[in-house]
Amino acid sequence: MIALLAPGQGAQSPGMLAAWLELPGADERIGRWSEAAGLDLRRLGTTADADEIKDTAVTQPLVVALSLLVFEQLSRRVQLPAGLVAAGHSVGELAAAAIAGALSTDDAVALAAARGREMAAACALEPTAMAAVLGGNEDEVLARLAELGLDPANRNATGQIVAAGPAAAIDELEARPPAGTRVTRLAVAGAFHTRFMTPAREALAARAAHVNVTDPRYTLLSNADGAAVTGGSRVLARLVAQVTAPVRWDACMAALRERGVTAAIEFPPGRTLTGMIKRELKGMTTLAIKQPEDLDKAVDLVSMRTVGSPA
């Protein structure tokens, strides 16, 4: 069984679209999604600098658009197996929902743009921040976050928890971290996946009310708990709720193991998800697609797993 993974915010890099626009139909697709997003994704993905594309309102639709562009290119080259699993990290879950067939790609990019705009606006309301807490005892880390009024916004893997909340509390966490940990402040606009994003969640819910959804044709794992989401309306509800809820990528990885997934392909611009899988799920075959030439490797991997070759 094979999993297709979509990365989240933070995976972007300047010029990340350039090589992909040379592929058949890619430039036209990005033009269409630019209209859906209300942004010039072509320019943002080719000539914009790092500062411009780290803006939450830009990053989210840009990352989702690139993942879906490459997914469509892969789908043209190989028949995807019926037992496919799709999962995405944070905003990447919108791409995963489209990969699973619950949303159209146009709607996924448009929702990513609305999500990014509204989260950026929510971040401007008061000073909040996020920081990665690496290592230490999990119970002690969570207790320290609770003491400071911080939320575990992301629980990515063993020894990787992202704290989020008031900027002053993040300052205190950096100054006095839990025993045996290393705290690294993240270059993000604010406390994503916490109560501070409530205005964004409400605005996204209003936008999502006009989106058509269907039941996924492939297994779609939820960031909330790693469970498969089977109904289209439930998919949309979870995508909206995710804005203020913690990302449990650790639970998604556990679900991949439990479902017998033997190979995982991560779409660009990321490779963080496959990196975590390498560390957590020993023996699973992984491929992070970075350049167009990697599509041939992905086709080979999908073909091999589809005909039932051994893991």
Which sequence positions are flagged as catalytic? 90, 193
CA 195 to CA 78: how far, in whole Å? 42
Alpha-carbon span 261 to 143, nearest angstrom: 34
- With tokens 């913690």, the residue in question is 246
Please give the Cα distance from 109 to 68 (Å, whole number): 9
How would you label 209-228 residue by residue, b for 16+ Cβ within 10 Å and e otherwise?
eebebeebebbbbbbbebeb
**Of all helices (H) and strands (E), which one includes residue 95?**
helix 92-99
CA distance 242 to 265: 23
Q: How far apart are CA 17 and CA 22, in angstroms?
A: 9
